[in-house]
Structure 1
Amino acid sequence: MKPAKKVVVLLSAGLDSTVNAFDAVKHGHEIVLALTFNYGQRAAQKEIESAAKLAAHLKVPHKVVDLPWFKDFNKSSLLVEDQAVPVGAQVEIDNAQKSAESAKSVWVPNRNGIFLNIAAAYAEALGATAVIPGFNVEEAATFPDNSKEFMDTATKALHYSTSNHVTVGCYTVHLKKTDIVRLGHGLKVPWEMIWPCYFSGEQWCGQCESCQRSKRAFASANVDVKHLFKDY
């Protein structure tokens, strides 16, 4: 990512977005705003609570943006209560076909496209020249809006829609989850503050796709966070 003194971070409090926020600080950037979106997702309450704690820990401004009209899309199991989120044996993170099927279930129409455009508007208004989402190469295989290609294309579009030519940059876009955990461990991320789960509960469920990927990544990186999972 090109140097930028002032940045806006998309902070869902998940593994990827949290590590990017900490890495931005390490690189000397001023986070003028950490944005968390409430779009009716099942984990909204815990994401908001966790993001607020992380922002306070980093001493950066935090804002929750409510997007209630996401419910009109009526598509994703993350938004629609009568649709089941794939869990347990329904999720096979090393099976490309199964991963594609589970991705369809939790896909939210144009979510990251909308998020980046909102963040870019805040960035322009606050004099920031970059927005930083939490993308990774592992999930980009089934979620194309996590890919570097999407990020670079978004930057091209923002060149026309923002007067200060806001760019999109991400420190983890080339990394798999295990490498992101290692990076975060080196940055001293307080893992108990993050929320990588698709659900709101007392602990990370350990069964949804996001939890399963996180579980494997922490184990592979030899970082013990077993106590944070409900089912390990």
Structure 2
Amino acid sequence: MKSTKKVVVLLSAGLDSTVNVYEAIKHHHEVVLALTFNYGQRAAKKEMEASAKIAAHLNIPHKIVDLPWFKDFNKSSLLVEDQEVPTGARVAIDDLEKSEETKKSVWVPNRNGIFLNIAAAFAEALGAHAVIPGFNAEEAATFPDNSKEFMDASTKAFRYSTSNHVTVGCYTVHMKKPDIVRLGQGLKIPWELIWPCYFSGDKWCGQCESCQRSKRAFASAGVDVKHLFKE
């Protein structure tokens, strides 16, 4: 990622976005805004609470952007209550074919495209030259809007749609989850502040795809966060 002084980060409070905001600060960038989106997702309450705590912990500006019209898409089990989110044995994070099927359930139309465009507008307005999402190579295998190719395409588009040519950069885009956890350990991230779960329960459910990936990543990195998962 190109060095820049002022950045806007997309902070959902998940593993990837949290590591990225910490890494941006480590690289002495000025985080002029951390953006959290409330688009009617099941985990909205927890994501907003966790993101606010992380921003306060880091002493960076934080804004929640409400996007209630995402519900009008009437698609994705993350948004529509009468659709079931795949959990447990229905999720197979190492089975590409099965992951493609479960992706169809949780896919939100153009979510990251919309998020990056909103972030780029804030970046331009605030004099920042980069936006930083939380992408990773592991999920990019089935979610192409987590990929380096998508970031590069967005940067190219922003050359036309932002006067200061906002770029998109991400510290974890080439990394898999265990390595992201290891990076976070080096940054001394308090893991109890993050929220990687698709649901808004008292603890991380441990059964949704996001939790299963997180659970494996922490175990692989030798980090004990069992107390944060629902038993």
Please state which band the TM-score falls in when normalised by the shorter chain: over 0.9
Matches within 5 A, 1:7-22: 7-22=7-22
For the residues of structure 1 that align with 2:149 and 2:214, how far apart are their CA atoms?
A: 24
Q: Please give the per-residue CA displacement for 1:164-183, whole angstroms capped at 9, x wherever unaligned.
A: 00000000000000000000
Matches within 5 A, 1:168-183: 168-183=168-183
Residue 8 of structure 2 aligns to a residue whose secondary structure is strand
Matches within 5 A, 1:48-197: 48-197=48-197
For the residues of structure 2 that align with 1:19 and 1:78, how far apart are their CA atoms?
A: 23
For the residues of structure 2 that align with 1:119 and 1:14, how far apart are their CA atoms?
A: 17
Q: Counterpart in 1 of 2:207?
A: 207
Opposite residue 77 of structure 1, the aligned amino acid is S
CA RMSD of aligned residues (A): 0.4
Q: Counterpart in 2 of 1:226?
A: 226
Q: Give the number of aligned pairs.
A: 231
For the residues of structure 2 that align with 1:123 and 1:209, how far apart are their CA atoms?
A: 31
Opposite residue 116 of structure 1, the aligned amino acid is L
Opposite residue 175 of structure 1, the aligned amino acid is M
Opposite residue 176 of structure 1, the aligned amino acid is K
For the residues of structure 2 that align with 1:101 and 1:178, how far apart are their CA atoms?
A: 24
Give the ranges of 4+ consecutive aligned residues of structure 1 lying more than 6 Å apart after TM superposition: none
Residue 83 of structure 1 aligns to a residue whose secondary structure is coil
For the residues of structure 1 that align with 2:122 and 2:132, how far apart are their CA atoms?
A: 12
Q: Counterpart in 2 of 1:43?
A: 43
Q: Cα distance, 1:206 vs. partner?
A: 0.2
Q: Please give the per-residue CA displacement for 1:103-133, whole angstroms capped at 9, x wherever unaligned.
A: 1100000000000000000000000000000
Residue 64 of structure 1 aligns to a residue whose secondary structure is strand
Residue 63 of structure 2 aligns to a residue whose secondary structure is strand
Q: Counterpart in 2 of 1:26?
A: 26
Q: Cα distance, 1:5 vs. partner?
A: 0.2
For the residues of structure 1 that align with 2:151 and 2:178, how far apart are their CA atoms?
A: 21
Residue 64 of structure 2 aligns to a residue whose secondary structure is strand
2:223 matched to 1:216? no
For the residues of structure 2 that align with 1:83 and 1:149, how far apart are their CA atoms?
A: 31
Opposite residue 86 of structure 2, the aligned amino acid is P
Opposite residue 177 of structure 1, the aligned amino acid is K
For the residues of structure 2 that align with 1:48 and 1:162, how far apart are their CA atoms?
A: 28
